Homo-oligomer: A and B are copies of this chain.
Amino acid sequence: MSVQEQGRRAKAAAGVLATATRAAKDAALRTMADALVRRTPEILAANEADVEAGRAAGLTPALLDRLALNDYRLEGMASGLHQVAGLPDPVGEVIRGSTLPNGLELRQVRVPLGVLGIVYEARPNVTADAAGLCLKAGNAVLLRGSSSAAHSNAAIVAVLRDALQTAGLPEDAVQLVDASSRETVKQLMRARGLVDVLIPRGGASLIRSVVEESTVPVIETGVGNCHVYVDAAADLDMALEILLNAKTSRPSVCNAAESLLVHRAIAEPFLARALPALRDAGVTVHGDVDVVEAGHRRGVDVFEATDDDFGAEYLSLDLSAAVVGSLDEAVAHIARFGSGHTEAIVTGSLDAAREFTARVDAAAVMVNASTRFTDGEEFGFGAEIGISTQKLHARGPMGLPELTSTKYVVTGTGQVR
């Protein structure tokens, strides 16, 4: 079926979902969760085919691990759907309301966005997660996953669609877009009037191409070149713990730290501890001249950093590092190299914290906390569909409210102007 035709079906399904009650949507989510568990064998069989093909195609062990499903991961997907069922329904929430001087009653009400397109890579669990969040917010979704997970995604979507039908909601609320060619991504990007919003999740190049080519509105997600700035007034123990956590607890994710900035006033004592600790944690440091010299003094190898290093989202155990002369310099460095995801300051100074949070332009600014906290679950949103690094519509972790739009409902008694 063409993407256009899928879009038309999705739009029709969205019309039904828009007025579905919370009870109906939650029942469908629970039915979907139960079906995933009940039909685990057929999903795992499909997944096995993807994993085999991936192994044959020479996928890295890391990618194979992301691709592989098992009982435990399917239970995780099911419990994710149960969790979404337990979240409040954003649709129908009255955001603002007043009675105008002429007696008109004005209400701004949350409504679904309509049809979402999600383009994502590898992990098949995203298929169920995204379907669940979109459904709860009253949206139909076109899922365009990776070709390497095509069998797994097809099996999961088949199960979810059956469950929707069982629960009395339109199965076209969840559709899988053919992943065998890049052309389908382009078709999604041009489906104005059928797809309301496109959310690319994945590598930087995927996101850039969607952002640049789509005529459908896009929510940009995910690229994180996150900095930890250790201020002159930092508690050095705290700074070291935050730095190590931000860099090493999960280096492959977008909220991991990629760059360290150290105030000159405490650079010597801090780097004296941080460089050996980073080395012991397996981290390769790419430093400016001051950091390279500090490495020399402590017998730790530090590579010379280029501008490319300072601009890199490594997603690995690499870290760029520079000494800055002031908070001003730190802010300027972040403005130049940051990706607007998450920036952290470690400081005991209220002035420095205030200045940094006010002036750094990012989705999230942390004071004395790890960059790793920028996450929908950590923020208490229950779930997230991604982390927006753009300023329009949604910025930071996107939960259910970010998957909605609003509508003004104005009720009168015959008012004219």
A330 to chain B, nearest CB (A): 14
Residue A29 at the chain B interface, CB threshold 8 Å: no
Instruction: Give the Cβ gap from A97 to chain B, nearest Cβ, in Å.
Output: 11
A406 touches B395 (CB 8 A): yes
Q: Is the CB of B411 within 8 A of A353?
A: yes
Copies of this chain present: 2
Q: B361 contacts A415, CB within 8 Å?
A: no
Flag whether A19 is at the interface (Cβ < 8 A). yes
**Is the C-beta of A293 less than 8 angstroms from some C-beta in chain B?**
no
User: Do A408 and B392 touch across chains, with their CB atoms under 8 A apart?
Assistant: no
Q: In the assembled complex, which residues on chain B have CB atoms less than 8 Å from the CB atom of A361? A: 15, 18, 111, 114, 407
Contacting pair A373 B410 (CB below 8 A): yes
Give complex CA distance A98, B249 in Å: 25
In the assembled complex, A359 has its CB within 8 A of some CB on chain B: yes
Within 8 A of B (CB), among A204-253: 211-212, 215, 217-219, 235, 238, 241-242, 245-246, 249
Could you tell me the distance between the alpha carbons of A249 and B415 in the complex, rounded to whole angstroms? 13
Q: How large is the interface on A (under 10, 10 to 19, 20 to 34, 35 or more residues)?
A: 35 or more
| CB of A279 within 8 Å of the partner chain | no
Shortest CB-to-CB span from A249 to chain B, Å, is 6
Q: Is the CB of B104 within 8 A of A407?
A: no
Q: Find the B residue at minimum CB distance from A359.
A: B19
Distance to closest chain B CB from A359 (angstroms): 6
* A357 and B409 contact, CB distance less than 8 A: yes
Known: A19-B358, A106-B380. A410 touches B367 (CB 8 A): yes
A416 within 8 A of B: yes
Cβ of A372 under 8 Å from chain B? yes
A197 at the interface (CB under 8 A from B): yes
- Min CB gap A320→B, angstroms: 20
Interface readout for A323-341 with B: 1 if CB under 8 Å, 0 if not?
0000000000001000000
Contact mask A69-106 → B, CB, 8 Å, 1/0? 00000000000000000000000000000101000101
In the complex, the answer to whether B391 meets A395 with C-beta atoms within 8 Å is no
Across-interface contacts of A125 in B (CB, < 8 A) = none
Q: Which residues of B contact A359 (CB under 8 A)?
A: 15, 18-19
Inter-subunit contact B417/A378 (CB<8 Å): yes
**Cβ–Cβ < 8 Å partners of A261 in chain B:** none
Q: Is A259 an interface residue (CB 8 A)?
A: no
CA distance A357 to B407 in the complex (A): 9
**Complex CA distance for A378 and B212, rounded to whole angstroms:** 37
Contacts of A242 in B (CB 8 A): 414, 416
Closest to A114 in B: B391
Q: Does A368 contact B (CB under 8 A)?
A: yes
Asked, given contacts A416-B249, A417-B372, whether A367 binds B405 with beta carbons under 8 Å apart, the answer is no
